[in-house]
Chain A
Amino acid sequence: MSTVTTTSWRAFLSLVRIEFRLNVREPTGLVVGLGAPVLLIVIFGSIPTFQTAQGALGGLSPLDLYGPILMVFTLSMLALNSLPLRLATYRELGFLRRLAVTPVQPSRLLLAQLTVHATVAVAAIALILGIGATAYHLRLPGSAPGLIITLVLTAAALFPLGLLIASSAPTAKAAGAIGNILFFALAFCSGLWWPLPLMPALLRTVVEKTPTGAAVQALNDTIAGNFPSLAPLAVLAAYALVFATLAIRTFRWE
């Protein structure tokens, strides 16, 4: 039993190592997931008026609104674009089928993919907050546990959605297209083009029921210095539960 466990963890670590290398060699997902939000924080930070606190925003600067949006942007980019494209490509190649006849438990590959994507997400979020705070006076979340819990729940909702895309798309191309559409829809809901506090009340109520809207709402609470309110966390948890269940049921290796 212990040899089985050792072998399977050794397999997992090898998979993580290879996945990191492949991601660096074919850095599409990595560049966009890591680079785009960092680039955006620099662009937004460089707009002079973006650093000024505004009464209409409850004393926050426009940039402060974009901190949470960009964190969610990173997670959705990695979960909805990078992850499904990679898995669907592996399936299309027959690589998943090939792995399925080795002793590596299929779940280990998923876990390795999630590990790589989560690591990139953590790095991107650290860069957003680090660069934002040091260079552009971005206000940091006041509640670290609140921040972490929100990010974990957001990832738990979005990554299984990415797996669902990977399993429902017939080809890698389709997975890329579906991922893109969902990404833009959810980016709107996160307030990328129209921040939540400025949305009409009705629209805001609706988008706060989406995973990205709820995530930004909860992160806004932490920026305001509070632990997130229960409603958005409950929305995220519900999505996480539903998407994870569906993803486990529908995942296919070929």
Chain B
Amino acid sequence: MVEPVIDVRGLHKTYGPVVAVDGLDLSVAPSEIFGVVGPNGAGKTTTVECIAGLRVPDRGSIRVLGLDPQADRNEVRQRVGVQLQESALPAKIRVREVLELFGSFYRHSVNVPELVESLGLGAHTDAYYRALSGGLKQRLSIALALVGDPEVAVLDELTTGLDPHARQQTWALIESVRGRGVTVVVVTHSMEEAEQLCDRVAVIDHGRLVACGTPAELREQGGGVTRMSFRPSGPFVDRLLTSLPDVTSVHRQGDRVVLTGTDEVATDVILALNEAGIRARQVSIESSSLEQAFLTLTSEDSPPASTGGAA
């Protein structure tokens, strides 16, 4: 077993009467992209703020790179880059200035022009912060988390406010950062992001860990099914498909066949139809998403409004 980069044991944190985190355990392996998802108010941000040393846990232990974020404050801050939710910069600071300023806080900093290019900020280095669009502000805030050449990057709401292009670009950047051996923790509301980007995902609800695993494992835990439907080129008996081990149900809707099964179902169905000389037209395949698994895993007595995607 490799020594975890982040090790959280029995974390408790309350704000007055509100229990934000209630006995949470987490373990993040080296060079992993680790997702933290959960409904609003589940305790995600509090957890990463404790990991970043911004908040003092009421109980429990946190180790980051083997260090205590409170006792070894300076060392942890040197080696952990953090992107915070809802933190703005002075209106009239320029992109280049703030990156150089933050770079000067660290023992090593990355090459600012390269960082700026990799985040698509190259054309905006002389712009004032207040002149940046929401997406550019978000990219700058990611750049600030990475400018100190961190061993661990903790990114809260990584791609909130980014358009699909910028999201893809940001995911590619995070992949390349991980490629350099950086361990990345991403807090997100986006199941798509968790699925596309993360090696493992922790689902947090009511301050507790409700599930943790690869996106595929979580889909399964959430009762994953694949739905497939198509219009057959000719008649066939349902037994042709119900006999397949991966198929769980088959029924007809007008001239369409609708079936459910495991995530291997599509190939088996097409092959079986092909052997019977039937072609499938207008095929639609819908894998139960991580989103559905997430809703299943976190649904118990959490109000529906809290499972929305907005921050």
Contacts and interface: CB of A to CB of B under 8 A. Distances in A.
Contacts of B97: 18, 21
B54 A18 contact: no
Interface stretch (A88-96, A136-144, A230-238): A88-96
B92 A26 contact: yes
Given A18-B93, A102-B77, A103-B78, A94 B101 contact: no
Contacts of B240: none
Given A15-B101, A22-B93, A103-B106, A94 B77 contact: no
Contact of A95 (B53, B77, B90): B90
Nearest to A93: B88
B306 interface: no
Contact of B104 (A10, A94, A98): A10
Contacts of B84: 94, 97-98, 101
A86 to B, nearest CB: 9
Given A18-B101, A103-B78, A104-B105, 9 more contacts: A14-B101, A21-B97, A97-B54, A98-B84, A100-B54, A101-B54, A101-B84, A102-B102, A103-B106
B62 interface: no
10 contacts: A7-B106, A11-B105, A18-B93, A18-B98, A22-B93, A94-B86, A98-B89, A98-B144, A101-B84, A102-B77
B92 A103 contact: no
A93 B77 contact: no
A25 to B, nearest CB: 4
B52 A101 contact: yes
B74 interface: yes
A134 interface: no
Closest 7 CB pairs of A and B: A94-B87, A14-B104, A93-B88, A98-B87, A101-B82, A103-B77, A25-B92
A3 B75 CA distance: 12
Contact size range, A: 20 to 34
Contacts of A3: 107
A104 B148 CA distance: 12
Contacts of A18: 93, 97-98, 101
Contacts of A10: 104
Contact of B105 (A7, A26, A89, A97): A7
A97 B48 CA distance: 14
A21 B98 CA distance: 12
B265 to A, nearest CB: 47
A232 B122 CA distance: 57
A4 interface: yes
Contacts of B106: 7, 102-103
B25 interface: no
Contacts of A93: 87-90
Contacts of B18: none
Interface of B: 52-54, 74, 77-78, 80, 82, 84, 86-93, 97-98, 100-102, 104-107, 144, 148
Contacts of B74: 4, 103, 105
Contacts of A103: 74, 77-78, 105-106, 148
Interface of A: 3-4, 7, 10-11, 13-15, 18, 21-22, 25-26, 89-90, 93-95, 97-98, 100-105
B104 A11 contact: yes
Contacts of B105: 7, 11, 14, 102-104
Contacts of A13: 104
Contacts of A90: 90
Contacts of A95: 87-90
Nearest to A97: B87
A55 to B, nearest CB: 52
B74 to A, nearest CB: 6
Contacts of A14: 100-101, 104-105
A160 to B, nearest CB: 23
Nearest to A4: B74
Nearest to A7: B107
Contacts of B92: 22, 25-26
A228 B53 CA distance: 48
A113 B107 CA distance: 23
B127 to A, nearest CB: 13
Contacts of B87: 93-95, 97-98
B24 to A, nearest CB: 20
A96 B106 CA distance: 17
B156 to A, nearest CB: 10
A21 B104 CA distance: 17
A22 B93 CA distance: 7
A89 B88 CA distance: 10
B142 to A, nearest CB: 13
